Chain A
C-alpha cells in the first residue's frame, strides 16, 4: 500500500480496488457491503427516514472526535431526531491527491468504530480523488436511512403551549473544542467535543410508550438558540430558565473569556426535546439512565404567545434570545 493517495486511487482501476480491499472492507465489513454491488439491497418496508450531510470540519482530528466520527454521528442523529431507528449509512469521500494514507486509515477506522457504537452499518460508498489543491485533504458525505419500529408515534416536530423543553446534556462543547483546536487559542487541557451518536438515547425515551415527544432536534450550527428560534411559532413563546441550561465548567470559562454566548455555539452530542408537561419527568428519567443523557435537564417551557424566545434570570430579569449571526468570532475588547 502506498503512503499517500494519488489520482490513480480514484480512477476505478487496480489502485481503487486495493483501497477498497485493504482499507474500506476490513473496516466496514458487513453482509450488505461485502457483495460490492452497485447498490446495497436492504430490508425496509413501511415508512423509512433518509437524510444526508457533508462534513468539511477543520482540523480533521480534534479532542473528542474527528471528521470520521462526526460524519457518522451527525447523520445518525438527524435520523434519531426524526423518530427513526438509524440502520444504514453510505460514505462518500472526495480525497485530495497527496493525502497521507495513514490519515485516511485513521478516519476510516473512526467511521467504523462510531458506526458500531451507533448500531448502524456502512452499506455502500464511493471515493473520488482530485488533484492536489482542488480539495482540502478530505471531504465526506454520509447519507443515512432509518426505519420506524411498529407502534412508534412519529413526532410532529411542532411545539405546543404547555410543553417543557428538555436538553440531554451540556451545551457548546463541540463548537468551543473545534474553535480552540483550529485557532490555537491556547486553552488547556484542550476542550473536548461532545460528538456522539444518539440513536440509543432517543430509543430509551420510546421504551416507555406513555412518553410523547412533540419536537426534537440536535442543535448543531447556531446552537441551542437557533433551534429554539426555529421552533417558536407566531402563537407561542419559549421561556428558558437561564441558570438551568447545563454547560461544562471548562466550556463556560472559555466562552466567558472569549465573550461568546454558549447558547449560540454548535453542539454535536446533545438533543433538545419539546414534550408535554405530563411526560417531562419520565422523559428526563429515561434520558438520565443513558450514557449520553446523564446531564439532562428541564430548561424551559412553551407558553401561548407571539413568537418570542427569551430567558429569565434568577433575579427576575428577562432577556431576548435571537438567531445567532454567521461565524462566531471571539471578542476581547
Chain B
C-alpha cells in the first residue's frame, strides 16, 4: 500500500525536487513537507516527498532493539 523509497535531494525548483536514488533520479513534489533542502535524505511515495529522514534512524532503532534485548536476556 505504501511503497516509499529513500533518496537524496540534488536540486529544488519551485515545488519539485530532483531526487537521487543511487544511480538514477526522478522528480518528486515537495509540497507535503516543510524546509526541505538540497542534500536532505527524504522518503518518497507516489511522486511526493512524505518525510525528511532523520540521519540517525538506524541508531534510534538500534537503541530500541537494545532495550528489548535487555528485557529478554536479563
Contacts and interface: CB of A to CB of B under 8 A. Distances in A.
A–B contact, 8 Å CB criterion (strictly below): yes
Interface of A: 185-189, 191, 248-254, 256-257, 259, 331-333
Contacts of A251: 23-24
Interface stretch (B1-9, B51-59, B61-69): B1-9
A253 B19 CA distance: 11
Given A252-B23, A253-B5, A253-B24, 18 more contacts: A185-B26, A187-B25, A187-B26, A188-B26, A248-B23, A249-B22, A252-B22, A253-B22, A253-B23, A256-B5, A256-B21, A257-B3, A257-B21, A257-B26, A332-B45, A332-B46, A333-B1, A333-B2
Interface residues of B, number: 14
Contacts of B24: 187-189, 191, 249-251, 253-254
A257 B5 contact: yes
Contacts of B3: 257, 259, 331-333
Interface of B: 1-3, 5, 21-27, 44-46
Contacts of A259: 3
A251 B23 CA distance: 8
Contacts of B2: 333
Contact of B27 (A186, A253, A254, A332): A186
Nearest to A248: B23
A52 B21 CA distance: 39
A205 B5 CA distance: 40
Contacts of B25: 187-189
29 contacts: A186-B27, A187-B24, A187-B25, A187-B26, A188-B24, A188-B25, A189-B24, A189-B25, A248-B23, A249-B23, A250-B22, A250-B23, A250-B24, A252-B22, A252-B23, A253-B21, A253-B23, A253-B24, A254-B21, A257-B3, A257-B44, A259-B3, A331-B3, A332-B3, A332-B46, A333-B1, A333-B2, A333-B3, A333-B46
Contacts of B44: 257
Per DSSP, chain B at the interface is loop
A249 B1 CA distance: 24
A187 B19 CA distance: 10
B36 to A, nearest CB: 19
A184 to B, nearest CB: 11
Nearest to A259: B3
Contacts of B45: 332
Which of B2, B22, B23, B46 has the most chain A CB atoms closer than 10 A to its own CB?
B23
A98 to B, nearest CB: 35
Nearest to A256: B5
A11 to B, nearest CB: 47
Nearest to A332: B46
A248 B46 CA distance: 23
A251 to B, nearest CB: 8
Nearest to A189: B24
B4 to A, nearest CB: 10
A249 B22 CA distance: 6
Contacts of B23: 248-253
Q: Which 3 A-B pairs have the closest CB atoms?
A: A249-B23, A250-B23, A250-B24
B25 to A, nearest CB: 5
A331 B44 CA distance: 14
B48 to A, nearest CB: 11
A286 to B, nearest CB: 28
A75 to B, nearest CB: 30
Contacts of A185: 26
